[in-house]
Amino acid sequence: LRCCTAASVVTDGSGAAADERSLYIMRVVQIAVMCVLALTVVFGIFFLGCNLLIKSEGMINFLVKDRRPSKEGEAVGAGPY
């Protein structure tokens, strides 16, 4: 791994310290990217779930309104005769 890093190519006398610093920076960047990706996934799932919940509630209300008999339907055929 050491032969392939950019810090090992440049040697100014403090190669070990620069190597350790660049590895630390790379690790911090990796952790930050993973946190951003995890938050993106969590918020995506949350908003997708909210959207599906709102749509399903609307569909349930739409079906309930369709199943309720209208006043015209009750008046037809009903009467004292």
Phi and psi torsions of 22, nearest 5°: -70, -35
**What pLDDT shows up at residue 68?**
59
Q: What is the DSSP string of the chain?
A: -GGGSHHHHS-SS-HHHHHHHHHHHHHHHHHHHHHHHHHHHHHHHHHHHHHHHHHHHHHHHHHHHHHSPPHHHHHTT-S--
- Residue 71: per-residue pLDDT: 63
Q: What's the pLDDT tens digit per position in 12-66?
A: 555 678 888 999 999 999 999 999 999 999 999 999 998 988 888 888 887 777 6
Question: Is pTM beyond 0.75 here?
Answer: no
